Structure 1
């Protein structure tokens, strides 16, 4: 440690010398009658907000190679980057150090700030405070000062670097956003990011992509495109002639008036307001062919004089009409006469939307539901709570939305959560919630389009918004002398001193403590209220999502070692000072001593079992959880609900095939949420300016999602490389797993606005719908013991994949993009997006 300290002091002296030279050039250390030091706090904040600009430059993403001891700085896997915060005076008055603090956001842990003129502090999550020492410098007009820093891991995308830094002047509670940084255009404040070696490797085309390019050079005929629905149907037989469709007239259908209205609204959106084609519909039930005589199945017969739908159920009638609308060009036109027999591939055809990190407006969610209904996706998984926000009104617990749904600069967090994810101190982004009436209306709107909303309240981890809100409730009622009421929904053990850092860099207040009475009482209240909303909407809740993911201390992970460790590839951390969640909670220690839980590791699964009983008591048949949430359970039999669904988020190159095999074998209803194929918060392409996280994929375009073989995960190793463009192999083992379905994910950390959200979702949603509804001919059946590897094995019919893609892409380009535009959706242009 002495050597480490000596090295650090040497660097600090060198840094000071550099600053001294810099100050000669930028008038550091001076003062004048007109500088900010002589202004009132309010005026000082205003001056800084108007004139101070923060820019960022990343010098290297492999700082260890240039002499930085990333391991001694405690970087995970000893990986760190170097960069500079550049503070520049863009105004005409001098800015003096002292009397103010700059707050900045970073999605990477800041491990060190190397400048003697500044003190820095991690507040919580991604919020950091940078405070200049009084008298250390003065920035004249146009002058700048560079503040070197070291961040964990790397910065490979512009969206890694967050905007909306803000200042708070001493003695002035009102913060001021730096107007130059109040933007969602990262190029305005990011000077440079080094080229990524990972991107260069991933540019290498796979054999399937080569075939794709060839197929796109010889696109299908206009007749083939006209006869292809999206998603593709199970089978079709051509008939003579065409049907002219300027509009549709539904008659004798087994749909409710609101379901018929939803179809009519879709037709109107597509511009079908001309001469209507008469569409008769009836529920035929089991009289249909065996393979379509199931939920959502239908037969659609299109003739010159009209169309007829024979459906297994009401959903089949709706989907048959949507197929007709899919075949119809925007604005109307001719549709080939044909007979279609069709049914869904999976029970669960879902889309997950994170409204907690950054809120999505109801109108945006309704537009998403419209598209889900149109393309036969049937489950909207709403992530309603997380560390950064609580997004649904719960009667009787007003603090959840009064505090947990907004962000402001209140470091006590008794009025709001502190700013996160570049929201600014005044909710420029991130704030908002669904009122009870909003949610009821949304559930009803979705049900009319055969979309079921699955609410998720994440527990016991990722729960900081709830924990902080209930602490504010505790303080409010305690001040009134209502001890019973104050403790009723308290989610902390006040004596817990556990030291933990979460995945998003929060402390123990990120975890609901499952050992106190308040946790179960809170779960019962929230589940009961949301279930009541579904009943009021006429769509009783059938699936409750518990969450359950990432209740852990990341500093106890595999990439860290003790301070005296000798592994150069791991970060040094004082492991003795680190605790597992609830590791120092007296309440949990007592519960473990009583035998109700074997260890702190099992507390999340114990809590999941308790919540499953609450779910069952509310008449809900299925409890879902992320795979982390059931890690210590023996199987579905551990839970009180009739069914237990698991949302699986392993990547294929990190073992998803084995995981789905194990989950299916235990009897869980398994839904694939594969990050490398189905995370729509990942970038479309290998481009630094494409928004998104990329820990699972540097580029997920529509073709990649389209190429997914969900029933045979090993097959995908022959088509796509891993995250870094490297081939990997997977060999199937054991019997074919059964999956309930697949769903896309739109996590919202870097989707601050609704247009950003829509850009990331459309048109990838269409490729998701294709795979969720339709099994393609190039998808090989699962066989035990088959090995697949890109560039090595050659089992998959890649030419068939390319032809299928070309047909899909042509339909998207020639019909569906125009429909998305008519719906008002923001999207990434191009069929191959």
Structure 2
């Protein structure tokens, strides 16, 4: 069984004895360009092979080899992703195509670039980990469809230590994701130390520190991710979602509110970017963030700016974009930013429209939705939600008409904080799973995530930036909570983001069954859905 996820595009059976996975194993780079990749692959393999992995300088004539080598065959050709924006800021996305050959003596990973040979090597890692005893001789070849394949995590509301983020970087790399988007600020917390603004992360008191990443930790996380060909994208969510900023700087005035709503709405007042002091403060904050960030993108938020007029929102988004560009980075924002205008260089992250929210229209329909009732929804509240989110139905058209790009993160399938459907949760996980996820979302099974097809949004390829799953942290109390929501669904998103198509469910569930061993080797909790015939 070939249990690789994402499933490779092409597989050719080979001849000869099956390859034993028992080892010992040595990692060998035949080209100096791949030496650093070999070191990273060794670090990723250690939790899975343990003593079966030889030290770097050791040699054993009986050892099987994982060989990283350039592809010099006549038929080799550079194959870049055909759709999307390079998260590394390159004019053209990197060539990530690879060939992998399994023979009696070992596994050979061939590619034209370090990125490509790394993708081949993590494919080999999956084969070694998910195979019980042997791997049949074969050749695989593959290349990604989408250039941007991301995962958003939310340490602002569900705190993650730097070590936990590194563990998730490793997991993302094993499934060929190449972006880690960190939602670093929200009402609940400001998680990045900035040299010019120590008050943002200063302890509330001697006994109540604010959890955050120091500048040194942030730089180290970026380097760690880059070694795994993952670009870190920080998000500073403005002009709304700014309670943590306001707590540190209470003197900043509120943005103009819609008529009749001033001092009445139960939300933190968004920032007023027309106020000179506010603009100066935000400019300095974003400049610090841009200086600390190695990658080309900084996410400015722009979502759910409840309690400000449409005009003040437009001014804020335009100002935030301009400030990021002035500081040398490219801005990225949630889809609501499209209402401030879109230019060809703009990227909007698409997450919602009213039909996707799946809200009832009548009291009778509401009565059949225990998920909404448990969240305290009334029919009046759902109608108010629909009215507030009504403009989202036109955001995609705005982006396309303006010539911009869309990063696909539809809440319906790619928001991994959606609760699991109770009927697929095993009994021993019922209690934990029942408290996880955003309660206003209809619970769904694992198959639901795997059914998502990017083509259903009917977006021309030239307007797609890529694909990104998100996992917001409102319900997360521990690292195990996070991975329980993430796995096994992240693997399904990774398949679609790489291949461009949803997986065949019967084949995919069989592949997933073998990945429990991989997650267990990494000490990661996963939801053992009854949909999957766990090996």
TM-score by length of 2: 0.78
Among 691, 707, 723, the alignment partner of 2:436 is 691
Q: Give the structure 2 partner of residue 215 of structure 1.
A: none
The alpha carbon displacement at 1:328 in A equals 1.4
The alpha carbon displacement at 1:669 in A equals 1.7
Q: Give the structure 2 partner of residue 619 of structure 1.
A: 328
Q: Give the structure 2 partner of residue 271 of structure 1.
A: 49
**Alignment deviations for residues 52-91 of structure 1 (CA, whole Å, 9 cap, x no partner):** xxxxxxxxxxxxxxxxxxxxxxxxxxxxxxxxxxxxxxxx
Q: Does 1:809 align with 2:517?
A: no
Which of the two has greater helix per residue?
A: 2
Distance 1:455 1:499 in 2: 31
Q: Give the structure 1 partner of residue 430 of structure 2.
A: none
Among 518, 531, 549, the alignment partner of 2:290 is 531
**For the structure 1 residues 738 and 253, does the alpha-carbon distance in structure 2 shift closer, same or farther, using more than 3 Å as the test?**
farther
Q: Give the structure 1 partner of residue 29 of structure 2.
A: 251
Distance 2:5 2:235 in 1: 29
The alpha carbon displacement at 1:254 in A equals 5.5
Q: Give the structure 2 partner of residue 753 of structure 1.
A: 478
**For the structure 1 residues 300 and 681, does the alpha-carbon distance in structure 2 shift closer, same or farther, using more than 3 Å as the test?**
same
Q: Give the structure 1 partner of residue 91 of structure 2.
A: none
Q: Give the structure 2 partner of residue 775 of structure 1.
A: 500
Distance 1:544 1:762 in 2: 27
Q: Note if contact 1:810-1:831 (Cα within 8 Å) is conserved in structure 2.
A: no
Among 277, 282, 297, the alignment partner of 2:70 is 282
Among 102, 105, 119, the alignment partner of 1:302 is 102
Matching of residues 414-563 of structure 1 within 5 Å: 432-471=211-250, 491-492=252-253, 499-500=262-263, 505-508=266-269, 511-534=270-293, 540-553=294-307
**For the structure 1 residues 400 and 806, does the alpha-carbon distance in structure 2 shift closer, same or farther, using more than 3 Å as the test?**
same
Distance 1:523 1:338 in 2: 55
Q: Give the structure 2 partner of residue 318 of structure 1.
A: 118
Q: Note if contact 2:338-2:398 (Cα within 8 Å) is conserved in structure 1.
A: no
Which of the two has greater strand per residue?
A: 1
Distance 2:418 2:154 in 1: 14
Distance 1:309 1:297 in 2: 11
The alpha carbon displacement at 1:235 in A equals 1.1
Which secondary structure state, in structure 2, belongs to the residue aligned with residue 682 of structure 1?
Answer: coil
Structure 1: give runs of 5+ residues left out of the alignment. Answer: 1-225, 407-414, 417-424, 472-489, 535-539, 554-580, 582-599, 638-642, 714-731, 780-800
Among 182, 190, 194, the alignment partner of 1:382 is 182
Which secondary structure state, in structure 2, belongs to the residue aligned with residue 450 of structure 1?
Answer: coil
The alpha carbon displacement at 1:280 in A equals 3.1
Q: Give the structure 2 partner of residue 233 of structure 1.
A: 8
Distance 2:108 2:353 in 1: 43
**Alignment deviations for residues 200-251 of structure 1 (CA, whole Å, 9 cap, x no partner):** xxxxxxxxxxxxxxxxxxxxxxxxxx22411111212111133334334131
Which secondary structure state, in structure 2, belongs to the residue aligned with residue 670 of structure 1?
Answer: strand
The two structures, once aligned, show a CA RMSD in angstroms of 3.1
Which secondary structure state, in structure 1, belongs to the residue aligned with residue 4 of structure 2?
Answer: coil
Among 800, 818, 822, the alignment partner of 2:521 is 822
**Alignment deviations for residues 502-548 of structure 1 (CA, whole Å, 9 cap, x no partner):** 6xx3342xx222112233323332233233323xxxxx221110101
Q: Note if contact 2:158-2:476 (Cα within 8 Å) is conserved in structure 1.
A: yes
Which secondary structure state, in structure 1, belongs to the residue aligned with residue 15 of structure 2?
Answer: strand
**For the structure 1 residues 228 and 759, does the alpha-carbon distance in structure 2 shift closer, same or farther, using more than 3 Å as the test?**
closer
Which secondary structure state, in structure 2, belongs to the residue aligned with residue 443 of structure 1?
Answer: helix
Q: Note if contact 2:419-2:436 (Cα within 8 Å) is conserved in structure 1.
A: yes
**For the structure 1 residues 831 and 520, does the alpha-carbon distance in structure 2 shift closer, same or farther, using more than 3 Å as the test?**
farther
Which secondary structure state, in structure 1, belongs to the residue aligned with residue 201 of structure 2?
Answer: helix
The alpha carbon displacement at 1:444 in A equals 0.9
Q: Give the structure 1 partner of residue 343 of structure 2.
A: 636
**For the structure 1 residues 809 and 531, does the alpha-carbon distance in structure 2 shift closer, same or farther, using more than 3 Å as the test?**
same
**For the structure 1 residues 389 and 327, does the alpha-carbon distance in structure 2 shift closer, same or farther, using more than 3 Å as the test?**
same
**Alignment deviations for residues 602-628 of structure 1 (CA, whole Å, 9 cap, x no partner):** 2223222222222222322x3110011
Structure 2: give runs of 5+ residues left out of the alignment. Answer: 53-62, 82-93, 358-391, 424-432
**For the structure 1 residues 238 and 494, does the alpha-carbon distance in structure 2 shift closer, same or farther, using more than 3 Å as the test?**
closer
Q: Note if contact 1:440-1:533 (Cα within 8 Å) is conserved in structure 2.
A: yes
**For the structure 1 residues 312 and 527, does the alpha-carbon distance in structure 2 shift closer, same or farther, using more than 3 Å as the test?**
farther
The alpha carbon displacement at 1:397 in A equals 1.0
Q: Note if contact 1:493-1:516 (Cα within 8 Å) is conserved in structure 2.
A: no
**Alignment deviations for residues 636-689 of structure 1 (CA, whole Å, 9 cap, x no partner):** 15xxxxx22111111583498975455234322211111111111111114792
The alpha carbon displacement at 1:252 in A equals 1.9
Distance 1:543 1:495 in 2: 29
Q: Note if contact 2:336-2:395 (Cα within 8 Å) is conserved in structure 1.
A: no
Which secondary structure state, in structure 1, belongs to the residue aligned with residue 340 of structure 2?
Answer: coil
The alpha carbon displacement at 1:443 in A equals 0.8
Q: Give the structure 1 partner of residue 377 of structure 2.
A: none
**For the structure 1 residues 302 and 445, does the alpha-carbon distance in structure 2 shift closer, same or farther, using more than 3 Å as the test?**
same
Q: Does 1:647 align with 2:349?
A: yes
Q: Note if contact 2:186-2:243 (Cα within 8 Å) is conserved in structure 1.
A: yes
Q: Does 1:679 align with 2:415?
A: yes
Q: Note if contact 1:383-1:458 (Cα within 8 Å) is conserved in structure 2.
A: yes
Q: Give the structure 1 partner of residue 142 of structure 2.
A: 342
Q: Give the structure 1 partner of residue 89 of structure 2.
A: none
Q: Note if contact 1:670-1:738 (Cα within 8 Å) is conserved in structure 2.
A: yes
Q: Does 1:704 align with 2:458?
A: no
The alpha carbon displacement at 1:308 in A equals 3.0
TM-score by length of 1: 0.52
Distance 1:295 1:523 in 2: 37
Q: Note if contact 2:416-2:486 (Cα within 8 Å) is conserved in structure 1.
A: yes
Q: Give the structure 2 partner of residue 766 of structure 1.
A: 491
Q: Note if contact 2:184-2:190 (Cα within 8 Å) is conserved in structure 1.
A: yes
Which secondary structure state, in structure 1, belongs to the residue aligned with residue 129 of structure 2?
Answer: coil
**For the structure 1 residues 287 and 267, does the alpha-carbon distance in structure 2 shift closer, same or farther, using more than 3 Å as the test?**
same
The alpha carbon displacement at 1:346 in A equals 0.8
Distance 1:458 1:764 in 2: 26
Distance 1:602 1:612 in 2: 16
Which secondary structure state, in structure 2, belongs to the residue aligned with residue 455 of structure 1?
Answer: strand
**Alignment deviations for residues 523-577 of structure 1 (CA, whole Å, 9 cap, x no partner):** 332233233323xxxxx22111010111123xxxxxxxxxxxxxxxxxxxxxxxx
Distance 2:264 2:12 in 1: 59
Which secondary structure state, in structure 2, belongs to the residue aligned with residue 352 of structure 1?
Answer: strand
Q: Note if contact 1:400-1:465 (Cα within 8 Å) is conserved in structure 2.
A: yes
Q: Note if contact 2:196-2:285 (Cα within 8 Å) is conserved in structure 1.
A: no
Distance 2:256 2:171 in 1: 49
